[in-house]
Amino acid sequence: MNIEKFLYEAVKSSVEALYGELQGEQLQIQKTRKEFEGDYTLVTFPLLKRSRKSPEATANEIGEYMVANCKEVAAYNVIKGFLNISLDPSFWSERFCEVYACENFGEGEPTGKTIMIEYSSPNTNKPLHLGHIRNNLLGYSVAQILKANGNNVIKVNLVNDRGIHICKSMLAWKLYGGGETPESSGMKGDHLVGKYYVEFDKHYKEQIKELVAQGMSEDEAKKSAPIMLEAQEMLRKWEAKDPEVYALWEKMNGWVYEGFDVTYKALGVDFDKIYYESQTYLLGKSLVEEGLQKGVFFRKEDNSVWIDLAEDGLDQKLLLRGDGTSVYMTQDLGTAFRRFEDDNLDGIIYVVGNEQNYHFQVLKLILKKLGYDWSDGIYHLSYGMVELPEGKMKSREGTVVDADDLIADMVSTAREMSDELGKLDGCSEQEANAVSTMVGLGALKYFILKVDPKKTMLFDPRESIDFNGNTGPFIQYTHARICSILRKAAEGGINTELECSTLLPVEVELIKSLCDYPNVVAAAGEAFAPSMIANYTYELSKQFNGYYHDNSILREENEAVRAMRIRLAASVAKVIRSSMKLLGIDVPERM
């Protein structure tokens, strides 16, 4: 049952029985605030013209009618013009039976919509780092949440495999690599290529310094540094399909892809489709030509192509360089066009950091000006950067937190802390390793996803593995604790299906929280916010732990009450499993 819908209809029929059919008045019903008694609150002020009574009198009249005529309403109280409605415990008992019996509890009905979500989008000139981890976890989790809301979801990765930054790594390897390979160095391919991206930057800075010492301005030196000119020439050769440059590009990208796959697997994320910028930038060029013909774009004297967005409160935007080479916008225009045309999309979500807010604002605007109304379906899920206690990361200088190292450190720290706390007592080595991996990754994922995506966040590895705070391990341990209860009940042959007619107030509150899960999933889908799921799951886990601390389950003497409490625990575990799955987090059965 949809509780909100049921209550709306019950209030509506009561109001209309008292005051006649509603004529556009809005019923304002919300959850009762925790400091007041009641389940739901009706705001009576919009109804005063119809009732011709004071707010308090109107609320009392509606409350009295509902108690007398609606068996689900047990009581009411009035605070000024607010009617607080208390539903009967039997109502919550029926809802609990629905929750317990429903296998796919929390999932929405099919919408018929197809939504694409693009995340990861790495460059093939460096390995994945902590910032990429936030991107991947956000993208994967939002995809899971949208699926749970009944959408057909296509998870895609756009690999930025071309451009000047790629040529920088290629050129540095050619100049200084001495034929080094992942096999000869023992390094993962993405790490090896990233090493030469840093190497390029080192030599580039040295050359700038030399040119400035010779009297050149810093801006001129940046443009005139021989290594940069050589990289730009390499990009031109690549676009002209020069055999030598192209072969080197394919070889080094191959190393990177093998490295990325290892990281994605460790992180537990995947994709339905992978696009490559090298295959889409030419289509973007055709859209630029189309825009020129329509008069949407203009060409400057140096042959570069631009769009003037001054009337939209923005500036001029470059779409094609004077030498004919593409920019990011060129490629994104082509990719968006291909996706909407090929997959008949209802929407596309780009998971990209907030430094690209302007870029996506312009992308939508340009596509709209080209006449593509589907551009309204483009959404930029902008997220803040991840910082560490030591400060910001800089990939050019090689001061990033490598994703592979971080994952390994999280698992190692989880093992160490679990051993210290005795969480792995009685586990075999294989079980201990599996639980440590689950806890380490759960800690990392939860710590990142519990933060609103728009916020810049500070990541502290040790804080994320606290078994007592708002953390993944706390929730995982709660699930393992419930599984232990359920195992003991099964081993003891306890009949868990006995009917129980009485519920404690604390049990009603727990059932209310369970019933709220579908609403949280729906709200998280609307807002593209895994943080809503994360914080709901923490509150539910905390609520259950408080209940379990004060109320015996297996030692309860009344068999019907004991059976109900076991079912309640099982329902909490089911919702924890479901919600953590939406975050891409596994939960252990033993811990």
What would the pLDDT profile of 282-314 be if each residue is shown by its tens digit? 788 889 999 999 999 999 999 999 999 999 999
More confident residue, 361 or 468: 361
In a domain, 459, yes or no: yes
Q: What is the pLDDT of residue 461?
A: 76
CATH of the domain at 375: 3.40.50.620
Residue in 50, 57, 52, 51 with CA at minimum distance from that of residue 81: 57
Which of 65, 87, 109 lies at the terminal end of a domain, its last residue? 87
pLDDT digits (tens, 9 = 90+) for 159-169: 989 889 999 99
Q: What is the pLDDT of residue 282?
A: 76
In a domain, 394, yes or no: no
Q: Looking at the predicted structure, is the pLDDT value of residue 221 above 90?
A: yes
pLDDT digits (tens, 9 = 90+) for 254-284: 999 999 999 999 999 999 999 888 887 778 8
Q: Looking at the predicted structure, is the pLDDT value of residue 578 above 70?
A: yes
pLDDT digits (tens, 9 = 90+) for 168-178: 999 999 999 99
Which of 87, 105, 140 lies at the terminal end of a domain, its last residue? 87
Place of tokens 């209940």: 547
Q: Looking at the predicted structure, is the pLDDT value of residue 73 above 80?
A: yes
Number of other residues whose CB lies within 10 A of the CB of residue 381: 20
Both 306 and 338 in one domain: the answer is yes
Evaluated on CA atoms 579, 583, 589, 591, the torsion sign reads negative
CATH of the domain at 485: 1.10.730.10
Both 378 and 408 in one domain: the answer is no
pLDDT digits (tens, 9 = 90+) for 481-527: 999 999 999 999 999 999 887 899 999 999 999 999 999 999 999 99
Q: What is the pLDDT of residue 399?
A: 52
How would you write 26-50 as a 3-class SS string? CCEEEECCCCCCCCEEEECHHHHHH
Mean pLDDT within 111-126 = 95
pLDDT range class, residue 396, cuts 50, 70, 90:
very low
Both 14 and 72 in one domain: the answer is yes
pLDDT range class, residue 187, cuts 50, 70, 90:
very high
In a domain, 464, yes or no: yes
Q: What is the pLDDT of residue 113?
A: 97
Both 422 and 484 in one domain: the answer is yes
Q: Which of 36-40, 52-56, 405-409 has the lowest mean pLDDT?
A: 405-409
Mean pLDDT within 140-151 = 98
| Order of strands across the sheet that contains 378-383 | 273-276, 152-159, 114-118, 347-353, 378-383
Both 213 and 341 in one domain: the answer is yes
Q: What is the pLDDT of residue 393?
A: 44
In a domain, 479, yes or no: yes
pLDDT range class, residue 398, cuts 50, 70, 90:
very low
In a domain, 151, yes or no: yes
Q: What is the pLDDT of residue 328?
A: 82
More confident residue, 26 or 243: 243
Q: What is the pLDDT of residue 559?
A: 95
Both 353 and 204 in one domain: the answer is yes
In a domain, 497, yes or no: yes
Helix/strand/coil percentages in the chain, nearest 5:
60, 10, 30
- Number of structural domains the chain divides into: 3
Domain interval for residue 221: 119-387
Both 143 and 289 in one domain: the answer is yes
Question: What mean pLDDT value characterizes the chain?
Answer: 92
3-class SS at 584? coil
How much of the chain exceeds pLDDT 90, in percent? 78
Q: What is the pLDDT of residue 395?
A: 44
pLDDT digits (tens, 9 = 90+) for 360-394: 999 999 999 999 999 999 999 999 988 777 655 44
CA distance 39 to 33: 8
pLDDT range class, residue 480, cuts 50, 70, 90:
very high
How much of the chain exceeds pLDDT 70, in percent? 98
Structure tokens at 537: 């799951």
More confident residue, 580 or 26: 580
The set of residues, in sequence order, having a beta carbon less than 8 Å from that of 452 and lying 6+ positions away, is: 529, 531
Q: What is the pLDDT of residue 400?
A: 66
Distances in whole angstroms, Cα of residue 250 to Cα of each of 13, 121, 161, 167, 178? 69, 18, 10, 12, 18
